[in-house]
Amino acid sequence: MPDPRPSTIESPARTSRDVVGAGGHIAVGDDGELRLEGHSARELADRYGTPLYVTSETQIRENARRLRRAFEDRWERVTVLYATKANYNLAVRQILAQEGLGGDCFGLGELSVSLRAGVEPGKLVMNGSNKQDDELRAAIEAGVTINVDAPGEVDAVVRIAEEVGRTADIFLRVLPFSYADTGQLAPDLADIARDRSHDKWGLDRPTLLELVPRALEAESVRLRGLHLHVSRLGPTPEHFQLAAALIGTCMAELRDRFGWEPEFLDFGGGYAHERDPESGAPAGSHPVATPEEYAEAITAALRATLQRHLLAEPHLLIEPGRRLVSNATVLLGRVGVIKSLPSGSATWVNVDASTSHCLRVPLQGYHYEIVHATRGLDAPVVIANVTGPTCVLDLLGEQRPLPRVEPGDLLAVLDVGGYAEVLSNQFNLVPRPATVLVTPTTCDVIRRRETIEDILATQLLPARLTA
């Protein structure tokens, strides 16, 4: 069967100001106009309307290839599992399947879109802290590995596997920092190890030691690996290095106690990307690790620990999400009312895009860069509060320096490919935007603009209220 992935990617001509930091696929040209894969942001907005998500297919493919190469150059057996929750648009999922990526799935929806996109079931894992029987059944029937998150989940998997007559493959999700002796760590690493804010997921050391022999003895499951996820504790890889050393120590203990070594080690996600709005800080104000730095930190620390304990190197899995898709999408918004009061310290620039379309701004304080889509090279002349149309403050960006802004202009919120569309909502009954996927030669709507009728379609009016 031919490989569906193109061997090369044609890039548009480079422009003056690369706004994604990788390849020039989303960039401000010499005329100050934002272009996406060579397409004018202004023309896209005129053609498809605003607000509008625009996604660069080439950028996603390049992100996937660079991350794969970084780990494959340093570890013999590696599989990248895309964290589907970051952007479960079917077209995005299909692109990453074509690039050879498996997937991390939460729930039936993400499992369904991954299978529909053609991902091999053997390259999918199901995560979640409260998996229900229908989710476990679907995973077992499809042949998807389950990352077990709680002791009782093993019993549920055994029961359902026996009911469907299949053997279920499982990993056990470990809290690696439960193996840390914080008194022996440098202060910054000790602080990381003491962070128990993510204990909603995973098994600590005593629970793991109790569960491993149970899983090994169960006839209808195969314990094939371990899973961990240290989350986004920072934009540089120190916490990953610590987790790699600790999981190696865990593997040694399981070998010594039970004679079992994992075939697979799923190292989870949490990899920041270049601009990293997830940190809540302006771009360029802090270091962010490259894929190569993440890969080197993890594999070097893990290999050193495994060699010290005479352990074999498992097949390594990683679950990146935002690293693969965030910098591939912008949100375009059309400027409407501009208001500057004599008593105020900022100009209020209203756009038709909203924090409802970029929810992590109000939810978690993310700082997304905002650029003028047609005067992107002009010097700033105004300090603006960029705000959306809903009846909350709706601040997409506060106190932002911008060039001259007029009604009808376009502003672009960068790096919204991860966790923007999937968290978007319809507050004030405002329909969600369309999404356009661009390459140098194509523009395709991959999610049509929502309508008010779409929003109301799920609502039912009892007959007694209209009598």
What average pLDDT does range 220-231 have in this prediction?
94
Q: Phi-psi category of 428—alpha, beta or left, where left has phi over 0 and alpha has psi -120 to 50?
A: left
Query: Which pLDDT score, from 0 to 100, does residue 17 have?
Result: 58
DSSP labels for 199-241? TTSSB-HHHHHHHHHHHHH-TTEEEEEEE-----S-SSTHHHH
Q: Which helix (H) or strand (E) holds 338?
A: strand 329-339
**Structure-token match 């860069």, residue found:** 369
**If you average pLDDT over every residue of the chain, what do you get?**
91
Query: pLDDT digits over 417-444, tens only?
Result: 999 999 999 999 999 999 999 999 999 9
Residue 339 burial (CB count, 10 A): 12
Domains, the chain, in order of start with CATH, read: 17-56+326-456 (2.40.37.10), 58-324 (3.20.20.10)
What average pLDDT does range 402-406 have in this prediction?
97
Reported as a pLDDT band with limits 50, 70 and 90, residue 14 is: very low
- Report the C-alpha gap between 399 and 349 in whole angstroms: 11
Please check the confidence at residue 258 and state whether its pLDDT lies above 70: yes
Q: Give the CA-trace dihedral at 248, 254, 257, 260, to 10 degrees.
A: -120
What average pLDDT does range 92-118 have in this prediction?
97
**Cα torsion 45, 49, 51, 56: sign:** negative
Query: Which pLDDT score, from 0 to 100, does residue 284 have?
Result: 61
What average pLDDT does range 222-237 have in this prediction?
87
Please check the confidence at residue 77 and state whether its pLDDT lies above 70: yes
Reported as a pLDDT band with limits 50, 70 and 90, residue 71 is: very high
Q: Which residues pair with 34 in a beta bridge?
A: 28
Catalytic residues: 391
Query: Which pLDDT score, from 0 to 100, does residue 21 have?
Result: 45
Q: Are 111 and 230 in contact, with CB atoms under 8 Å apart?
A: no
Reported as a pLDDT band with limits 50, 70 and 90, residue 19 is: low
The two most distant CA atoms of the chain are separated, in Å, by 78
What average pLDDT does range 287-305 have in this prediction?
95
Give the rounded distance of the alpha carbon of 372 from its chain centre.
26
Query: Which pLDDT score, from 0 to 100, does residue 342 have?
Result: 86
The least confident of 78-87, 282-291, 407-416 is 282-291
- Report the C-alpha gap between 370 and 300 in whole angstroms: 37
Q: Which residues pair with 80 in a beta bridge?
A: 318
Please check the confidence at residue 139 and state whether its pLDDT lies above 80: yes
Query: Which pLDDT score, from 0 to 100, does residue 181 have?
Result: 75
- Report the C-alpha gap between 376 and 348 in whole angstroms: 19
Please check the confidence at residue 49 and state whether its pLDDT lies above 70: yes
The tokens describing 400, both together, are: 């932002």
Please check the confidence at residue 133 and state whether its pLDDT lies above 50: yes
